[in-house]
Amino acid sequence: MADKNVLLVEGKDDLQVLRHLLRHHRIPEPFIKENEGVDRLLESLPQQLKSSELERLGVVLDANASLAGRWESLRNIAIKSGYTNVPVHPDSSGTIIKQQDKPGIGFWLMPDNTIPGMLEDFVQHLVTENGVLWTLANDSLQRIPKPEQRFPDSHRIKAHIHTWLAWQEEPGTPMGLAITKRYFKGDAPLAQKFIAWIRRLFIEG
């Protein structure tokens, strides 16, 4: 089975969040493929671009600590794959590269193509405006004595989101489902910006 529209993501969480977000916006779903992490995704990307029948390929990656570094590796892969008009910097509304006789490519760097971060930094923007529980969750994270903090500081936002999720109507709801259950706001401005990128890549392009 060859898919015309493919969206590559790092892992299961990314897949779930984006799938529920697309459903929330009633976007016809591309084939969403998770890749067991960023290294495997980057290794796989040149082959994915050569897969048969492919017309449009979206890639969603965490910028992590270095947006510029992540962009550089994506850019190099696109250039090596024969794309000639790859921008030097990522587009803040999501990068899209079109070239005759080649599949269209889209790149989105979590959270918003402009700052370092990850999926949870994106999801943070979907938290509903009632900020009481959000602030409380943050407070309780602050109160963890240092020797008891099991997660690295770089994952503080993950801990924050999952603590907040634990206090919703159904504790333990995963991030993706939390969009459908409307704990998260699927049409927050950043979500709309992401959906606009998806539309430009897969539907209008």
Partner 1 sequence: MLTSLQIKNFRPFRHLQIERLGQINLIAGKNNVGKSSLLEALRLYAYRGAPFLLWEILATRNEIKRAPDASLESEDNVGVVLDRLFYGRNGNEKGPEPVQIGPSDSSEDTLVITREWRPENGNENLQLRESSRVVEAGKSPEPNVLSIRVGPAPIYFLPLDGFWALRNRRWASPESLPAKEFNCFYISADGLKKTEIGYLWDNIALTDLEQDILFALRIIAPDIERLSLVGDLMNNRERSAVVKMKGHSRPIPLNSMGDGMNRIFGYMLALVNARDGILLIDEIENGIHYSVQPNLWASIFNAAHHLNVQVFATTHSWDCITSFQKVAAENKEKNGMLIRLEAKREMTNAVLFDESELSIVSRDQIEVR
Residues near partner 1, by CB under 8 A = 1-3, 33, 35, 40, 43-44, 46-48, 50-53, 101
Least distance from C-beta 60 to partner 1, angstroms?
A: 16
CA 155 to chain centre: 16
Nearest to 33 by CA among 161, 54, 24, 184: 54
- CA angle centred on 80, ends 77 and 83, rounded to 5°: 90
SS3 57: strand
- Residue 119: how many other CB atoms lie within 10 Å: 24
Of the pair 31, 151, the CB lying nearest partner 1 is at 31
Least distance from C-beta 108 to partner 1, angstroms?
A: 20
Of the pair 38, 141, the CB lying nearest partner 1 is at 38
- Residue 73: how many other CB atoms lie within 10 Å: 14
Least distance from C-beta 4 to partner 1, angstroms?
A: 11
The Cα–Cα gap between 175 and 142 comes to: 22
Least distance from C-beta 33 to partner 1, angstroms?
A: 8
Of the pair 35, 113, the CB lying nearest partner 1 is at 35
What SS3 string covers 63-87? Answer: CECCHHHHHHHHHHHHHHCCCCCCC
**Largest CA-CA distance found in the chain, in angstroms, rounded:** 58
Of the pair 4, 89, the CB lying nearest partner 1 is at 4
Least distance from C-beta 54 to partner 1, angstroms?
A: 8
| Residue 167 burial (C-beta neighbours within 10 Å; 0-12, 13-18, 19+) | middle
Least distance from C-beta 76 to partner 1, angstroms?
A: 16
Of the pair 48, 124, the CB lying nearest partner 1 is at 48
Of the pair 36, 187, the CB lying nearest partner 1 is at 36
- Residue 102: how many other CB atoms lie within 10 Å: 17
